[in-house]
Amino acid sequence: MTIKFGIIGCSRIAERSVIPAISKSQYAQLQHIGSNSISKAREFAKKFDCEKYGNYENVISDSEVDAVYISTPIGLHEEWILKAISAGKHVYCEKSITTSFESAKRVIHQAQENNVRVLEGFMFKFHPQHMKVKEIIHQNRIGNLVSFSGIFGFPAFPLNDIRYNKSLGGGFLNDSACYPISASRMIFNEEPIGVSCSLLFDGKTDVDVGGISYLIFEKDKTASIIYGNDNYYQAGYSVWGSQGILSLDRAYSVPPDFSPMVKLQYSSDFTWDGRKNEIFKIEPADHFLIMLDTFCLDIANKTKSPFNFEEDILNQARVMEAHRISSSKKRFVYLDELK
């Protein structure tokens, strides 16, 4: 069983991570490379030993393509997702998959109508380090969960980067904050009741370049998210419990040869001197490959994914929309306001 992939968008992440994962996978095969620049498509085809290359439409119309990987600018995602779905292709699309909750609903509705699967590319969720975090939580080693704190920020990108192009879905809520937002939902294994968010906008480009949000979950659990551009690189989260705390320094973007560490701190006698620390070193893993294999096996009905792809897309898009509304309206937004 092999799922043949077409590529829509010759991006850096496609070149660095996704196409190499397709090449390594025993369940996937690189079939067709598409770009809005034929010379770029040709360059990628030569690099990855792919016979077929052309534009996006060529990939969509290729009857041998079973699924497409989309890494165009976020503002173009919906257009090409819907075209792929209409052609009967499964879709693996970069995050954030859409720029609005309404867009996400249109995508999932069409996918269900055409009996194809759609995956949003939050590769980090498939890394074993998060399984270790959940294992420690389930062992009750940090007690009752109290809060999640997530941070994601990095040095400034060049001014011509698409992240600063509002018409193409630019902004760092879509590009980086989405990671810790998704991670909080994953760790608590539930959806927030509501969101309060304040976004910082760049005066020249009118895109958000930073922000802070506060999410309230059931049983008084909370999540605080801080993100931003033009910062010292940070990509971690911590989970605070009644009896301890877990933390990850490299939670979202993890190279396949990197060994991340899960840090546990707890107290044996509830005194400062009684505090103990444990560090769990996680074996290197290619979370892009794990995600791709999971997607292929789910498509082929060989194994079941640990979560429903389409439900997760809708839930994530609803929370993201609540962030936008909260910032623009300057108020707390309940998730049940968004139907």
Residue 190 resides in a domain? yes
pLDDT, one tens digit per residue, over 78-120 is 999 999 999 999 999 999 999 999 999 999 999 999 999 999 9
For residue 164, the domain's CATH number is 3.30.360.10
Pick the last residue of a domain from 121, 136, 168. 121
257-311 confidence digits (pLDDT tens):
999 999 999 987 777 777 899 999 999 999 999 999 999 999 998 888 999 999 9
Is 303 inside a domain boundary?
Answer: no
The answer to the question of residue 309 being in a domain is no
Q: Which of 135, 127, 230, 134 lies closest to 176, judged by CA? A: 230
Do the domain assignments include residue 95? yes
Q: What is the pLDDT of residue 190?
A: 98
Q: Are residues 114 and 139 in the same domain?
A: no
Round to whole Å and give the CA distance between 21 and 23.
5
Last residue of a domain, one of 104, 121, 138: 121
Nearest to 207 by CA among 77, 310, 70, 324: 324
Per-residue pLDDT, 1: 80
* Same structural domain, 62 and 158: no
Number of domains into which the chain is organized = 2
Domain shared by 44 and 98, yes or no: yes
- 138 with 82, same domain: the answer is no
Question: 267: how many CB neighbours lie within 10 A of its CB?
Answer: 13
- pLDDT the model gives residue 315: 98
pLDDT at 268: 76
Quick one: 134 and 279 in the same domain?
A: yes
Which range marks the domain in which residue 100 is found? 3-121
Rounded to whole angstroms, the Cα distance separating 246 from 65 reads 43
pLDDT value for 79: 98
Is 290 within a domain?
no
- 169 and 77 within one domain: no
In this prediction, residue 15 carries a pLDDT of: 98
> In terms of domains, do 80 and 133 share one?
no
If asked whether residues 270 and 133 sit together in one domain, one would say yes
Whole-number pLDDT of residue 240? 98
Residue 22 sits in the same domain as residue 141: no
Task: In whole angstroms, give the CA distance from residue 323 to residue 53.
Answer: 39
- Please check whether residues 115 and 212 belong to one and the same domain: no
161 and 139 in a single domain? The answer is: yes
Using the 3D structure, point to which of 63, 88, 121 is the last residue of a domain: 121
CATH number of the domain residue 50 falls in: 3.40.50.720
Same domain, 241 and 100: no
Residues of the chain where predicted confidence (pLDDT) is lower than 70: none
